Chain A
Amino acid sequence: MIGIVVVSHSKKVAEGIVELSMQMAGPNQKIIAAGGMDDGEIGTDAVRIANAIKEADTGQGVVVLVDLGSAVISSNLAIELLEEEGLNIDIKIADGPVLEGAVSASVQAYIGGTIEEVVSAAELAREVLKLQ
């Protein structure tokens, strides 16, 4: 099962998205929040993200959902940190909206998709209109 990490500048946002995604996926799905800084302040922290990726990985890889701007930089830094540690985890950052993407990716991961399918599910969220 592919793991999911939710990166947000806000701890509360990341935790809320995980809460919602868990409700939609299933109890065994790994969805880990990496929000805010260690002291709870707004920001993104590569070490916190790296730890979340380790926690989310069950050996099949991890898809990372990010919110704004430096969330991407910190997530890339986290991937470098894990590589420096010698950990060989298949990690992909999905280029989709963080909430809708996380919910979609979590359900796809729970269903049992490949890492590419889970990324596609997250990125599909860019295209789905809400108002008909």
Chain B
Amino acid sequence: MKEVAYMIVNRLGIHARPAAEIAKIASKYDCNVTLKGNNKNANAKSLLMIMALGIKNGQEVTIAVDGPDEEKAIEALDVLITNNFYED
């Protein structure tokens, strides 16, 4: 079990395209990946669950990973998020 917090700084927040990118990456790993924000939790392997969090610019999210390949999963998601989903 590992958790890392991030500030979402891209202009549109976690809208459809970034949510799809998170789901695509999270789904490559066997571990559970949970995205937490707005006082809600989402299965990060589901596009719609991520979008339903409604994370906007300037909000904090936490990624929680739990499982055998959790280190690799968090590394891959870290690259995506710290590069602002390759937007802006």
Which residues on A are within 8 Å of B, measured CB to CB? 23-26, 100, 103-104, 107-108, 110-112, 121, 124-125, 128-129, 132
Contact = CB atoms under 8 A, between A and B. Distances in A.
Interface of B: 16-17, 20, 23-24, 27, 38, 45-49, 51-52, 54
Contacts, number: 39
> Chain B binding site: helix, strand, loop or mixed by DSSP?
helix
Contacts of B27: 111-112
A128 B54 contact: no
Which 6 residue pairs spanning A and B have beta carbons closest together?
A111-B27, A107-B47, A24-B20, A128-B52, A128-B48, A132-B54
B52 A121 contact: no
Contacts of A104: 46-48
Chain B CB count within 10 A is highest, among A100, A111, A124, for A111
A24 B17 contact: yes
Nearest to B38: A132
A115 to B, nearest CB: 16
Contacts of A132: 38, 54
Contact of B23 (A100, A107, A129): A107
Contacts of B17: 23-24
Contacts of A24: 16-17, 20, 47
